Amino acid sequence: MKLLVATRNKGKLKEITQKFSSIPDIALFSIEDIEKEIGSISEVIEDGTTFAENALKKARDLSQRTGYPAMADDSGLVVDALGGEPGVYSARYAGDGATDAERNALILEKLKDVPARERKARFVCVLALVVPEKGEFLAEGICEGEISTEPKGSHGFGYDPIFYLPEYHATMAEIPLEIKNTLSHRARALEKAAKIVQLLI
């Protein structure tokens, strides 16, 4: 099976390739790979109200353009005390062009008077698989945690420095990458997606 992944990020493609390494007869290609065959592919506007809607929109678009099976993801941080924010707006929180540090600072400011017991949060990743003539499939991964009171750690990116994992007594940005890659929301979603792909081949 030739599976197109809706990303230009080589790191993300490598992570997915590793998760799918035990599946025979599958070849993964990025958007850049397929553009060499069919020409430029424009970015899809992520205007869905849920992670699933955005992921499906991207996967459907890529599959329809190429005729190949396609996979796309959408992910973000969900903070209970903020009514689910930033959610699908995680990448655009604090405005277009804002840095990771500015987005983290905004969340910490909004939670400055919220006690520890009410700072529950989770990272959510939804992977959408669109396979012509076989259907559409979703795989969700969730990593539960809390929002810390200050950023800590330098290993991660995005909201990792303020996402505290009680079982590790550390933020996501403080734990080693090899551990993060086993418990992250994306890793968990990929494990489920790999099982779906195995059934489809």
Please give the Cα distance from 1 to 132 (Å, whole number). 12
**Look-up of token digits 């330098």:** 154
Q: Per residue in 157-195, pLDDT tens?
A: 899 999 999 999 999 999 998 898 889 999 999 999 999
The total of other beta-carbon atoms located within 10 Å of residue 124's CB is 25
Please give the Cα distance from 19 to 13 (Å, whole number). 10
Q: What value does the mean pLDDT take over residues 20-31?
A: 90
Average pLDDT over the chain reads 93
Q: Which residues are catalytic, by number?
A: 74
pLDDT of residue 103: 96
- All domains in the chain, ordered by first residue: 2-200 (3.90.950.10)
Instruction: Tell me which H or E stretch contains 196.
Output: helix 185-200
pLDDT of residue 38: 83
Q: Per residue in 113-148, pLDDT tens?
A: 999 999 999 999 999 999 999 999 999 999 999 999
Closest C-alpha among 148, 153, 126 to residue 137: 126
Amino acid at site 92: R
Residue 201 has pLDDT above 80, yes or no: no
Contacts of 65 (CB under 8 A, 6+ apart): 38, 41
* Greater model confidence, 97 or 106: 106
